Chains A and B, each alone.
Chain A
Amino acid sequence: MSSSIQPPPSLQPLLQIEQLQVHYGSVQALAGVSLQVQRGELVTLLGSNGAGKSTTLRAISRLEPASSGRILWHGADLATVPAHRTLKLGIGHCPEGRRLLNRQSVAFNLELGAYLRRDRSGIAADLERCYALFPRLAERQQQQAGALSGGEQQMLAIARALMGRPELLMLDEPSLGLAPKLVTEVMAVLAELHRNGQTILLVEQNAQAALEIADRGYVLEAGRIQLQDNAADLLKNPELKAAYLGS
């Protein structure tokens, strides 16, 4: 690594992706994606179905290998990091479709969220914090995760990711399949986490809801970044309005 040309740590993005390409066999899912997330930011990655949003997150979590390009975390390349080490490094991933342990209880799911941590009192405090954030989970601690409603499952998925105390929280379409009232509720929680300093990379198809709480946004189309701007400007962007904001 050429440390001489690296910016001072304060300017270095937390996450920086450069010209990332990912292939599934011969199918190219990402054709050179570049984006960055600064400490404390809420960045949203928008795009329609099949644009490559989930693939981007899966590549950051090292679930998919990059065929070219770099993913820098605190300035260091993740290329040789195995997937199960990414959370230890501070990258939390709340995956598409929630992926709860459906046969296990709510409490077990949250406990496993803190699998890597050894600080018992910190874990207990975070558990309290999660139950305060999502009171409905507190009432259902002993229920099987699979028996929860869709909204509750999404809340559990977010809470489980928070239990890992990630420096960066990545969420893959948390609003998918939720009634509008629940979408508002979930977005309000994310906005609150953001206000408290949590760095968030939010993947969404619901551009309106995501841009209302985000600092910046990227729009992904067929594996390429088509637009990037401040959230406020993206909300006014005519191209985006036509394509995603339904007006």
Chain B
Amino acid sequence: METLLQTLLNGAASGGVYALVALGYTLIFSVLGVINFAQGALFSLGGYLTYLLLGGKIGVNGALPGWGLPIGLPFWLALLLAALGSGAIGLLVERIAFAPLRRRGAEPLLSLITSLGAGVVLVNLLQLLMGAEGYAFPQGAAGLAHLPESLLLGGARIRTIQVLLLAISALAVASLSLWLDKSRSGKAMRAVAEDPTTATLLGINSEAVVRLAFLLSGMLAGLGGGLIGMSVSLAGPYFGISYGLKGLAVLVLGGLGSVPGAIVGGLVMGLAEALIPSQASGWRDALAFAILFAVLVLRPSGLLGRRQLEKV
């Protein structure tokens, strides 16, 4: 029997991951006014990269069955490198799916299709390399082995990995907000988000800011994928897509383009799902979207959204 504390912690932990995904969308939406539909695929990629960096082996249906790194990295290093890898592929997605359209002054909506295409290609490449089967992470993955499986907190047993998941996503979200708020490049990004021409006249290279947004956004997705892989497992190359969709719902729930909205929206979504009793777990996704509809009926611009989005 789960205690309320366990339930809330589990909810907050998955909420944290939703927030990571939603923040990834938010960064790109703020600077370009479009949604990057490859975000879910980058989430999958982060999961697989983390698995391999932890020393996991490729399964029998993969391109190189049985292949793997000779040694596994500590989990924090694996997560960091996997995030960077997803960020790098995020940059590539920008080059391939977004930049050519921008250069030709094409209708921004077209990038929905091109980014979806990039995501599909990425997921299929993962399937080619790793096979379609699910992967459980290496038992007692390096660096995690010395941690206890569970902690006793307020009389309740709590899986260590859930605490870690919550702590890491909270740290990522907090550093991102702090960076946007205080750093020179974060301020430049806020300026580009509001008016790219003005930003240019102030000496800001808005193309560089766009690339930075894609790098960070890919890193957030990759980190989310790694965390979910560690706490649950990799259900197959498509596992990131459902998180990508959930992140999209959170984005709309919190208010398009709002950073605090993405965080609050993620937590609301995660907690609401966790409060559904496990015998009715089939209703979880339905509930998520029911909440979304309810909020949008009451507040069309989302929980913390601006009443109107500025016209581009």
Q: Is B205 in contact with A101, judged by CB distance below 8 angstroms?
A: no
Q: Is B203 in contact with A102, judged by CB distance below 8 angstroms?
A: no
Q: Is B205 in contact with A84, judged by CB distance below 8 angstroms?
A: yes
- With A99-B195, A101-B195 given, is the CB distance from A84 to B200 under 8 Å? yes
Q: What is the interface size of chain A, counting residues whose CB is below 8 A from a CB of the partner?
A: 25
Query: Which of the 9-residue segments A14-22, A29-37, A108-116, A237-245 touches chain B?
Result: A108-116
Q: Is B198 in contact with A115, judged by CB distance below 8 angstroms?
A: no
- With A108-B187, A111-B187, A115-B188 given, is the CB distance from A103 to B194 under 8 Å? yes
Docked Cα-Cα span, A28 to B269, in Å, equals 54
Residues facing A in B185-210 (CB within 8 A) are 187-188, 190-191, 194-195, 197-206
Q: B184 interface residue, CB < 8 Å from A?
A: yes
CB-nearest residue of chain B to A83: B200
Cross-interface CB contact of A102 among B184, B194, B205, cutoff 8 Å: B194
Q: Is B203 in contact with A115, judged by CB distance below 8 angstroms?
A: yes
Q: Is B200 in contact with A101, judged by CB distance below 8 angstroms?
A: no
CB-nearest residue of chain B to A95: B201
CB-nearest residue of chain B to A170: B201
* CB neighbours of B203 from chain A (8 A): 84-85, 87-88, 115-116, 164
CB-nearest residue of chain B to A161: B201
Q: How far is the CB of B107 from chain A (nearest CB, A)?
A: 17
Cross-interface CB contact of B204 among A95, A102, A108, A115, cutoff 8 Å: A115
Q: Is A87 in contact with B194, judged by CB distance below 8 angstroms?
A: no
Q: Is B206 in contact with A84, judged by CB distance below 8 angstroms?
A: yes
What is the 8 Å Cβ interface bit string for chain B, positions 37-75, against chain A (1 contact, 0 not)?
000000000000000000000000000000000000000
SS class of chain B's interface: helix, strand, loop or mixed?
Answer: helix
B188, B190, B195, B203 — which one has the most chain A CB atoms within 10 A of its CB? Answer: B203
Give the tally of cross-chain contacts (CB within 8 A): 58
* CB neighbours of A116 from chain B (8 A): 202-203
Q: How far is the CB of A95 from chain B (nearest CB, A)?
A: 6
* CB neighbours of B195 from chain A (8 A): 99, 101
* CB neighbours of A224 from chain B (8 A): none
What is the 8 Å Cβ interface bit string for chain A, positions 60-80, against chain B (1 contact, 0 not)?
010100000000000000000
Q: How far is the CB of B202 from chain A (nearest CB, A)?
A: 5
- With A113-B202, A115-B203 given, is the CB distance from A63 to B197 under 8 Å? yes
Docked Cα-Cα span, A85 to B208, in Å, equals 13
Q: Is B187 in contact with A95, judged by CB distance below 8 angstroms?
A: no
Cross-interface CB contact of B201 among A83, A102, A104, A108, cutoff 8 Å: A83
CB-nearest residue of chain B to A113: B202
Q: How far is the CB of B101 from chain A (nearest CB, A)?
A: 19
Q: Is B191 in contact with A112, judged by CB distance below 8 angstroms?
A: yes
Q: Is B198 in contact with A101, judged by CB distance below 8 angstroms?
A: yes
Docked Cα-Cα span, A104 to B206, in Å, equals 18
User: Which residues from chain A sit less than 8 Å from chain B, CB to CB?
Assistant: 61, 63, 82-88, 93, 95, 99-104, 108, 111-113, 115-116, 160, 164
User: Which residues from chain B sit less than 8 Å from chain A, CB to CB?
Assistant: 184, 187-188, 190-191, 194-195, 197-206
Contacts A101-B191, A108-B187 given; 8 further ones with Cβ under 8 A?
A82-B205, A84-B200, A86-B201, A101-B190, A101-B194, A113-B202, A115-B203, A164-B202
17 CB contacts below 8 A, A to B, read A83-B201, A84-B199, A84-B206, A86-B201, A87-B203, A95-B201, A99-B195, A101-B190, A104-B190, A104-B194, A111-B187, A112-B187, A112-B188, A112-B191, A112-B199, A112-B202, A113-B202
